[in-house]
Amino acid sequence: MPRAVTQPVPDVQPEVLIAFEKALAEMREGYVHGSFEGRPWGVTVRRSADRKRVWLYGEELGGADIVSCNLYVLSGSGLTLKPCEMSSSKVIDFVLGFEPT
């Protein structure tokens, strides 16, 4: 059963959070090129050895936009999303819309 992101994310439906978790879990570890909203991006995903933390960093290639977050797996069935100096919604939209090439 999918876990729920436990940190409150304003205006985001639970089914969107579940889709986010699934999309992030399916992202390949390491560096990958892809696109988001028709623009090229480079994205790195790292997972801790104990699989309790996922780190994502993406930057628009040839542009100035970035996306960065940590996702922590809590004891039991919860998750906590910690975006790095941006909104949770920006991170969620990016992960759901990113298309690796």
Lowest mean pLDDT among 5-9, 10-14, 35-39: 5-9
Name all contacts of 74-79 with Cβ < 8 Å and 24+ positions apart.
Answer: 74/6, 77/1, 77/3, 77/4, 78/3, 78/4, 78/5, 78/6, 79/3, 79/4, 79/5, 79/6, 79/21
Radius of gyration of the chain (CA): 13
pLDDT, one tens digit per residue, over 48-83 is 999 899 999 999 999 999 999 999 988 776 788 899
The reported pTM is 0.87
Q: Which two tokens stand for residue 72?
A: 């922590």
